[in-house]
Amino acid sequence: MVQAGDDQRHRKCHRGVGSFVSLEAEGYKPLVRLRVTNSNGEEVYSVGAKAEDKFSIRARTPGQYSFCLTLAPSSATRLGKRGYRDVLWHLQKGHLFTHHQVTENHLNPLLEIVSGLKGDLMECRSLQLYLKDRELRHRHTVDSTHSRVKGYAALQMLTVIVASVLQVAFIRKLFSTEGVRRVHSKTDI
């Protein structure tokens, strides 16, 4: 039920916009009938046997309006008692406005909001460019530092390897048998 206004000047402005879609049941999309009646019981709008429909209704008389969705007879016999019937249905009640009313009441505040959003968007974009440039500079710094650290580490490893090889050679020379023979040969004389 939708309530229409009692005020004479708003009576012509109330309208309902909506739609319905029947969902598939057991491999079959049932057909639905829509009937809209005003508070006097007069039919204002009707749709017969459709799976989906969009509608727009103006309330010409004040009072409640009934929206009745029923299953079409062909769909009822096909689905039987066990078949389920789901219908997605939407109704929006609203008013019609003149161009001046829309501009004054709705469009001007909307334009102010849009201009504010434009400024915020430009600020966000400049911040994004700054952060991107800063990240690029930091990345270059990190890459440069990384390459220097790798170079220093390679030089340090080479120094350790050379020192190890020289130590091994020096120790071998100290404990070689030639040096021992010389000492023995001098004492035997």
The full set of domains in the chain, from first to last, is: 2-96 (2.60.120)
Is the predicted pLDDT of residue 188 greater than 90, yes or no?
no
Name the pTM for this structure: 0.41
Strands of 14-22's sheet in order across? 52-58, 14-22, 87-95
Contacts of 32-36 spanning 24+ positions with Cβ under 8 A: 32/69, 32/70, 32/71, 32/72, 32/75, 32/87, 33/69, 33/70, 33/71, 33/72, 34/67, 34/68, 34/69, 35/67, 35/68, 35/70, 36/65, 36/66, 36/67, 36/68
Residues 72-101 have pLDDT tens digits of: 777 666 666 655 567 777 777 766 556 676
Mean pLDDT for the stretch of residues 28-45: 83
